[in-house]
Amino acid sequence: MSRYAPGAVMLRAALRRMEPYTPGEQPRPGEQVLKLNTNENPYPPAPGVIRAIRRAAAADSLRRYPPPRADRLVQSASRLYGLPPQMILAGNGSDELLALLFRAALGPGDRVAYAAPTYSLYATLAAMQEAQVVAVPMAADFSLPVVRLAAARARLTIVCNPNSPSGTFTAIDEIDRLAARLGSRLLVVDEAYVDFAEADALGLVGRHANLAVVRSLSKSFSLAGMRVGLLFAAPVVVDALLKVKDSYNLSAPAIAAGAQALEEVGWMRRNAAKIKATRRMAEARLRRIGFAVPPSAANFVLARLAGHNLEGVARQLRRQGILVRHFADALPDALRISIGTPGQMARLFRALEPLMRRLGVSRVNGRAERCG
Ligand SMILES: Cc1ncc(COP(=O)(O)O)c(C=O)c1O
């Protein structure tokens, strides 16, 4: 508890009004839990990544500042994704790149539009800029309200694809249409989970100067702890972001790890394929025990039970050492569950099925089933 009165220090008034972003629960050091609440990858990063971090730590690079534009990482990204380095910016996680975009595009009173429910950080970033949010409700199937988003005429429109927390995917030609409708207004596509989907918007970046695609190495490349993100956009957008970013936004080990992870992209693709197979099994099994599950293109699923607040179920799972995400305000009737290994998902179902039976909605027939 602070012993200082609120307002004891002169800070921006906007900060008093805003709620901080609430990340998913992180277990205490050493606490043994099954962590299915923040969409981390259950598999380790590529073996060369650990060696690259060791090399970065052993060499002179810790004593010196890192390259401000993370050149090695940007070059690896350029080779892998086929866009020139002037169209790529590396970030300290994709969260930093999102913050830079909001900072560059929005001043007090400017409009930012997105479909809801979505990644709740967008609201926090908007509040920081004192921007005005136009949150357009998604339809029941979480399809993107393209026309209403375009009609908002916001300075910045952001689409999370695949969307969190629904996991649903918007077809790329809809993104293409939205980018065209927005003209010179910025469209950001947050593709943090796109490696678990079947298509992506990167091919549109060369066609629309107003489009920025943001990627994360936290999920598919298993590097959440390293903080590496990538942004792809026209040079005019990248140049503007360079003006508002910190000079040395990525550490030397993060640059080395990110570059090596991209060099070993096959490792990521094999892990993503395993996660997609486990996801299919998990979706089917959740539906069998009574949940409605929108088709997921991400490394998590949204399990919904109409008319039930699932906070209690999340709490019961927590008691058994299993963390899943419950969004009390946006989606009280749902749990967002990250996809783990087949063994981890089997453990989840062993805990979840009795809870469902207790709720009286289970269609489980009692047969033991394997997941994955
Ligand atoms: C939709 C979405 N975008 C971006 C991020 C941020 O990822 P990063 O770890 O790269 O900052 C997350 C993390 O949960 C996310 O869910």
Interval between CA 166 and ligand 1 midpoint (Å):
14
Integer Cα distance of 92 and 263 in angstroms = 19
Mean pLDDT of the chain: 94
| Closest C-alpha residue for ligand 1 atom 12 | 192
pLDDT in tens, 96-116: 999 999 999 999 999 999 999
| pLDDT tens column, 252-265 | 999 999 999 999 99
Is residue 353 over pLDDT 90? yes
pLDDT band at 363 (very low <50, low <70, confident <90, very high): low
Token digits of residue 203: 């091919």
- Through-space distance between the first and last CA atoms of the chain, rounded to whole angstroms: 47
Q: Could you tell me which CATH number the domain at 47-263 has?
A: 3.40.640.10
Confidence of residue 1 (pLDDT cuts 50, 70, 90): low
Higher-confidence residue of 22 and 70: namely: 70
Q: What spacing in Å lies between the alpha carbon of 94 and ligand 1's midpoint?
A: 6
Substitution candidate for ligand 1 out of 41, 119, 194, 227 with most atoms within 8 A of CB: 119
pLDDT band at 2 (very low <50, low <70, confident <90, very high): low
DSSP string, 103-134: HHH--TT-EEEEEES--THHHHHHHHHTPEEE
Closest CA to 352 of 298, 310, 307: 310
Distance CA(9)–CA(12), nearest Å, equals 10
Q: How far is the CA of 188 from the centre of ligand 1 (A)?
A: 14
Q: Residues near 37 by Cβ (< 8 Å), separated by ≥ 6?
A: 24, 25, 323, 324, 325, 336, 338
Q: Band the pLDDT of 19: cuts 50, 70, 90.
A: confident
pLDDT tops 60 at residue 226: yes
Its pTM stands at 0.95
Decide if 29-43+266-359 and 47-263 have a common fold: no
Q: Best mutation site among 21, 26, 37, 95 for ligand 1, i.e. most ligand atoms within 8 A of its Cβ?
A: 95
CA distance 239 to 217: 22
3-state secondary structure (DSSP) of residue 10:
coil
* Range 29-43+266-359: architecture per CATH: Alpha-Beta Complex (3.90)
| pLDDT reported for residue 292 | 97
What number does the ligand 1 atom closest to the CA of 160 have? 1
Question: Tell me, what's the pLDDT at 371?
Answer: 35
| Distance from residue 206's CA to the centre of ligand 1 (Å) | 24
Find the 75 Cα to ligand 1 centroid distance in Å: 22
CB 317 within 8 A of CB 352: yes
Q: Which residues line ligand 1 (CB under 6 A)?
A: 39, 93-95, 119, 160, 164, 190, 192, 216, 218, 224, 229
- Cα of 1 from ligand 1 centre, angstroms: 30
Choose one of 213, 218, 300 to mutate for the ligand 1 pocket test, by most ligand atoms within 8 angstroms of C-beta: 218
What residue type is assigned to position 367 of the chain? R
pLDDT at 24 over 90: no
Q: Find out whether 263 and 76 touch, Cβ atoms under 8 Å.
A: yes
Ligand 1 nearest-atom number relative to CA 229: 10
pLDDT digits (tens, 9 = 90+) for 276-314: 999 999 999 999 999 999 999 999 999 999 999 999 999
User: CA 283 from chain center: how many Å?
Assistant: 20
Q: Which pLDDT tens digit goes with each residue over 112-169? A: 999 999 999 999 999 999 999 999 999 999 999 999 999 999 999 999 999 999 999 9
- What are the residue boundaries of the structural domains of the chain, listed by start? 29-43+266-359, 47-263
Distance 365 CA to ligand 1 centre (A): 38
pLDDT value for 280: 98
